[in-house]
Structure 1
């Protein structure tokens, strides 16, 4: 049996452990691969476990590749994903037998994994659309890859299965998005056929002074969407900042819709509010 330690999160170290200690001190992630019970089992840890399990004879793919690229918002319950040449049936491990070109492979922390562009392609064709867009937005933030570079990558795969899904995800994605809630709001707006908003738009007053950054905005009509989490109301300091910023937006001629978490569970009501606000601001919708 082997285990790896995460003193450095991406440099697993292997060593034999006695059978009697395995269940008490260590948690089994894969057959013969254990991790200390004090270590949180994150997607990155699962990816490392898959690499150790395969003795390095694999390519980390999908969620596992994204984890090593330090993409945020990954589903913690997702199993590790690898690409191997042989048929593998192992609990808590998804093994793909894809053809991966050499230019689609990178090395990070001593492990082979798919490049950001290939990772985006794999996520787009394997995940539900909303999840794929959310993680593609996060991939932009983590790696610096751009929608244009993804379009170039898609153009190089004209006959690949799932390429239409990737192109759709690219259209819906946004390199400026900074949270899953923001992505979900954008997808709600686009799904309703409304004009595409700008992510993280810098709002300034009439003198050009910085007021804040709107999560989503239509600057041509001076309409902004701001997602408000629970801390915006439970933290007095944050609540005061929000109030001052809202007043500054109003004085600068902006209409702001503060999107509360409960409104996202009532998409029709939220969309009606957005549509009426845009119309009042002069949007031709």
Structure 2
């Protein structure tokens, strides 16, 4: 048996196009050794490596012209939050790829092919991968996600630091795709998106509050004391009623320094007359009935009354 020769340095040893290997002088027999798998024709991946979504996406968009990874694949590469079942599907090894209508649907093993009237501005390049723009991807997700999850994904695109999109850009794509499946959900969700949200769970908490018929809390608004000193920026708040709502993720619990700072912050708010309500994954799921009552009771204690229907 021949001893495998090292691959040329210009090839990514984790995975590459067969045509690129031949162009670099790699003999055919070298690509037929047991060290490689063929995820799709014209591609090779080194055996034993952890699945790499970005590498697979880069290879698939390189081997086929006029295409872009899309749907769940693009959402994961943009780091958009997805419900767990969609995240698992996106990481399953199947790559979603969209081509322009005139190019024809991509038909390859391991690929879910789509066709759409993509314009140049609907395709971006991220780390060498051609993928659908954040706003185009948002509309693609609308068919597959519930309202709260789609709001969380849209809020993520409007992040306080380095936002990936804007409401105007999303509206432009929505108006340009009036007949795509899921467009009604995308239209419904657009007015609910807010910029400056720090986590998907904050978005979901806000939606649960709205679905309960309670007033919408403000997002990431700084609170100062009577001397103008900064105290806190709660995840959500009712400034009029002096009620702060905080979602506590696992990182708060695991980091004792952060946990201590949170306790001191909340003590300062309470000293200023604020009610501080805290929520975790438990309160958001099985414990939501109690959490909803807790918010209502706090609002009523500060004079809020539900307007007559």
Question: Is the shorter-chain TM-score for this pair beyond 0.5, marking a shared fold?
Answer: yes
Say whether 1:99 aligns with 2:106. Answer: no
Asked if 2 retains the 8 angstrom alpha-carbon contact of 1:82 and 1:95, the reply is yes
Asked if 2 retains the 8 angstrom alpha-carbon contact of 1:200 and 1:215, the reply is yes
Q: Secondary structure at the match of 1:283?
A: coil
Q: Secondary structure at the match of 1:217?
A: strand
Matches within 5 A, 1:3-152: 5=12, 14-15=20-21, 18-23=31-36, 29-36=39-46, 40-52=50-62, 54-68=63-77, 70-73=78-81, 75=87, 77-78=89-90, 79-84=94-99, 85-109=103-127, 111-141=129-159, 143-152=163-172
d(CA) in 2 for partners of 1:40 and 1:73? 22
d(CA) in 2 for partners of 1:149 and 1:249? 38
TM-score where L is the length of structure 1: 0.80
Q: Secondary structure at the match of 2:232?
A: strand
Q: Secondary structure at the match of 1:214?
A: coil
Asked if 2 retains the 8 angstrom alpha-carbon contact of 1:177 and 1:199, the reply is yes
Give the drift of 1:212.
Answer: 1.9
Distance 1:59 1:281, change over 3 A: same
Q: More deviation in 229-238 or 33-42? A: 33-42
Say whether 1:219 aligns with 2:239. Answer: yes
TM-score where L is the length of structure 2: 0.75
Give 5+ residue unaligned stretches, structure 1.
none
Distance 1:246 1:36, change over 3 A: farther
What is the CA deviation profile of residues 24-80 of structure 1, one whole-angstrom value per residue up to 9, with x for unaligned ones? Answer: xxx66545534456765354334223313x434412222333345x33435254132
Give the drift of 1:262.
Answer: 1.8
Asked if 2 retains the 8 angstrom alpha-carbon contact of 1:204 and 1:252, the reply is no
The equivalent of 1:187 in structure 2 is 207
Give the drift of 1:138.
Answer: 2.0
Give the drift of 1:160.
Answer: 4.5
Say whether 1:279 aligns with 2:300. Answer: yes
The equivalent of 1:178 in structure 2 is 198
The number of residues matched between the two structures is 276
What is the CA deviation profile of residues 124-181 of structure 1, one whole-angstrom value per residue up to 9, with x for unaligned ones? Answer: 2343433322222222236442223323443344454432211122133322222121
d(CA) in 2 for partners of 1:174 and 1:42? 32
Give the drift of 1:12.
Answer: 7.2
Asked if 1 retains the 8 angstrom alpha-carbon contact of 2:57 and 2:129, the reply is no
Aligned match for 1:269, one of 290, 301, 307: 290
Distance 1:218 1:240, change over 3 A: same
Give 5+ residue unaligned stretches, structure 2.
1-6
Distance 1:204 1:126, change over 3 A: same
Asked if 1 retains the 8 angstrom alpha-carbon contact of 2:16 and 2:43, the reply is no
